Structure 1
Amino acid sequence: MNRNHLVCVTGGSGFIAAHTIRGLLERDYRVRATVRDLSRTAKYSFLNQLDGAGDRLELVEADLLQPGSLREAVDGASTVLHMASPYTINAEDPQRDLVAPALEGTRSVLEACRASESVSRVVLTSSIAALTDEPDSNHVLTEQDWNSTSSLSRNPYHYSKTVAERSAWTFMEEQRPGFSLVVINPFMVIGPSLGPSLNTTNQMIRDFITGVYPGILDINWGFVDVRDVALAHILAMERPEARGRYLCAAENLHMRDVITVLRDGGYGRNYRLPSMDLTGTAATMFVKLLSWTQPKDTGTYMRTHLGRHLRYDNSKIRRELDLSFRDIAPSILETAEDLVRWGHLPAPGTSR
């Protein structure tokens, strides 16, 4: 029975982690989730309201930079899902705010798991950021690709995810611990949130709707629904044959496609969806020039992604984990509805 298996999830209140916890509880697992500060009960109350949480969810306080607290968190767990990691584009101090927590946190979790006699598998949440920070229109990304261009000064978030994942694989090679490692590399994760906080990708959808973007840019993303990402982690945990990295993305959509889905779904009237076409060669060059007026890391991201066509192969995760992805258009609309529900976006027909 799954009730005999304890799963530890780090960063339990996170967007993806919360859905993963719900999925684990639905499959009858016992879950121990780490949070930063147990005294902030209001922030985590939604986790305690999940079905099954009353008798199978334990919240514990743990600091990723303090290995001692992590050892207690993983003690007795058969699997650890390491999902806690900072996600922000413009960091005041990239080393302090992004790289150190991601890198040292991953090492601390792995060290804690090595010290435990119970852990048999670790599933790490990585990112497309560890594959590339400047898509090549002529190259199809696979699990063999690694981001080799990011740094503290160039797309530091991408850099943090890359060094954290690389350090995990180095740890496995050098230490040869008694557990296996599987890595999930999601692309742009959207969908309904179980908690009230606004995650970075859903904020992008809100920004589309509220007129933050001056026009439709020549940029595309690989989207994936948060519920599919959560399921990918659980399947990677459950299947003994799961190995290596898994690129996790459902569909590739251009910004124009996303705007069309939102407009057709009723978010055009009374909102401020962009309509100006800035996708041509000259317009893209102009927007890249304007990017120098943006916050540093936003500007860098624009210059390394505008005018490039992202291509990828998700056959490994479909084949080995037997994962079928949701269609993304409904997920985009569910995201918008969820933004309204949590108060991050004015409801249709209200003043804005």
Structure 2
Amino acid sequence: MEKHTKVCVTGGSSFLGSWLIKKLLQKGYTVHATLRNLADPVKSGLLKGLPNADTLLRLFEADIYNADEFGRAIQGCHYVIHMATPLQHDPSKGTQFKDTSEAAVAGIKSIVQSCNRSGTVKRLIYTASVVAASPLKEDGTGFKDLADESCWTPLKVPFKYSIDSSTAYVHSKTLSEKEVFTHSSEIEIVSIACGLVGGDTLVSPMPQSMGMLISQPTKNMMSYQMLRFLEELLGKVPFLHIEDVCEAHIFCIEHPSINGIFLCASSYLITSAEIAGHFQENHPDINLRKEFVENSRRTITWGSTKLTDVGFEYKFNAKMILEDTLKYAQKIGEFDPSFKGFN
């Protein structure tokens, strides 16, 4: 199947995109990958250097701020995995969008239209985020008892520990993920709402999500505040390994028929205090300062089994994810037991 199957991956040079493309090429899929700038030697070189890239990979230039550009990359493909998303608003790209939310919504609308026009696309797989699926009550007074695919993040309540960029990201992902299912389409549409991703990476510097998972032992207060933001938004800290993220996307390619929203996290009842406890128990040489350990003592049940119900299996548990993330930081020299913290 793979040798005759073309997959388009938008945002191909990203943390998730590059690892997914590596896996797809290993399996023999033909891949159309988009980058914002083909002239960037680092990002294009990363993808061109992957095994099988010389015969199975084709690169296209496309920017979410001009989403019609994705049509060329999508044409002729059987599956589209949409990972590209604007993380920071760039007014220099044009004045048609006032913020990242407008750009992301317009982007997914254009992607769906391009898939419909292609005549070849069978399924659109949208890389979503659990930040759009908060079990917070609409009035912000507390959490629902259950976190599952029926939850949508309320956007009119303040988020604890939030800064402008994190609030903008939550709004952008929530609005765009709602948008993807508002369009009538002859293709199947799948939304994979991923938790915080750890493990390993092909890109440099270390991705933000990996930094958040090891923010306590690395004494990185900015990353720790973002971890606490996620915990206060979702009640707990759902996370998973980069390998499981990519295998979930490939599972959604290879499944005979699948559609709808799927929350994706192998570890989902973990608090930031329990993450700290893991490092303290398994690495006694790591001295965690008290300002990096706060216990919310909150009880929330993860009610999502949709992905495993259709046959997907996670390979990595919480301990494996945290250890692999820490191991990567040690490998690149960003962490050692005597480390005092980032400047």
TM-score, reference length from structure 1? 0.80
What is the CA–CA distance in structure 1 between the aligned matches of 2:308 and 2:180, rounded to whole Å? 24
Distance 2:84 2:10 in 1: 5
Tell me, yes or no, if the aligned pair for 1:133 and 1:158 is still in contact at 8 Å: no
Partner of 2:150: 144
1:258 and 2:266 correspond = no
Sort the Cα spacing of 1:92 and 1:109 in 2 relative to 1 into closer, same or farther, 3 A. closer
SS in 2 for 1:147: coil
Deviates more, 1:63-72 or 1:325-334: 63-72
Residue in structure 2 matched with residue 298 of structure 1 by the alignment: none
Look up the SS of the partner of 1:81 in the other structure. Answer: strand
**After the TM superposition, which residues 133-212 of structure 1 pair with which residues of structure 2 at under 5 Å, given as runs?**
134=136, 137-150=143-156, 155-171=167-183, 176-212=184-220
Name stretches of at least 5 consecutive residues in structure 2 with no aligned partner: 92-96
**Aligned to 1:346, which of 335, 339, 343?**
335
Q: Which residue of 1 aligns with 2:94?
A: none
In the TM superposition, 1:57-96 aligns within 5 A as: 57-87=57-87, 96=98
- Residue from 131, 146, 163 that aligns with 2:133: 131
* Counterpart position of 2:36: 36
Task: Find out whether 1:227 has 2:243 as its counterpart.
Answer: yes
1:124-160 deviation per Cα after TM superposition (whole angstroms, max 9, x unaligned): 0111122117375552112122223357998332211
Partner of 1:2: 2
Q: How does 1:309-324 map to 2 (within 5 A)?
A: 309-324=299-314
Q: Deviations over 1:23-58 (max 9, x none)?
A: 211221011110010111113322223222221112
How far the C-alpha of 1:61 sits from its partner, in A, is: 0.9
Per-residue displacement from partner, 1:63-82 (whole Å, max 9, x unpaired)? 22324421111011011000
Distance 2:210 2:293 in 1: 22
* CA root-mean-square deviation: 3.0
Aligned partner of 1:294 in structure 2 is: none
Q: How far, CA to CA, are the matches of 1:323 and 1:205 in structure 2?
A: 22
Distance 1:41 1:309, change over 3 A: farther
Aligned counterpart, 2:289: 274
- Matching of residue 47 in structure 1 with residue 47 in structure 2: yes
Residue 321 of structure 1 and its aligned partner are, at CA, apart by 3.6
Deviation, structure 1 residue 230: 1.1
Q: Percent identity?
A: 25
Identify if the C-alpha distance between structure 1 residues 350 and 156 changes in structure 2 by more than 3 Å, giving closer, same or farther.
Answer: closer
Query: Where in structure 1 are there 5+ consecutive unaligned residues?
Result: 281-305
Q: Deviations over 1:159-200 (max 9, x none)?
A: 1111101111001xxxx3331101101122211112113322
CA–CA distance in structure 1, aligned partners of residues 319 and 211 of structure 2: 17
- Of the three residues 301, 305, 328, the one matched with 2:318 is 328
Q: Specify the SS of the correspondent of 2:50.
A: coil
Following superposition, the deviation at residue 225 of structure 1 comes to 1.1
| Structure 1 counterpart of 2:272, one-letter code | M
Specify whether residues 308 and 242 from structure 1 end up closer, same or farther in structure 2 by C-alpha distance, changes over 3 A only.
Answer: same
Asked whether the equivalents of residues 136 and 154 of structure 2 are also in contact (C-alpha less than 8 Å), the reply is no
CA deviation map 1:285-322 (0-9, x unaligned): xxxxxxxxxxxxxxxxxxxxx66444312311001142
- Structure 2 distance, partners of 1:309, 1:14, is 34
Partner AA of 1:168 in structure 2: V
The CA distance in 2 between the partners of 1:126 and 1:224, in whole Å, is 14
* C-alpha distance 206-107 of structure 1, shift in aligned 2 (>3 A): same
Instruction: Report if aligned partners of 1:224, 1:325 keep a CA contact under 8 Å in 2.
Output: no
**How far off its partner does 1:323 sit?**
2.3
Moved more, 6-15 or 323-332: 323-332
Residues 265 and 60 of structure 1, relative CA distance in 2, 3 Å threshold: farther
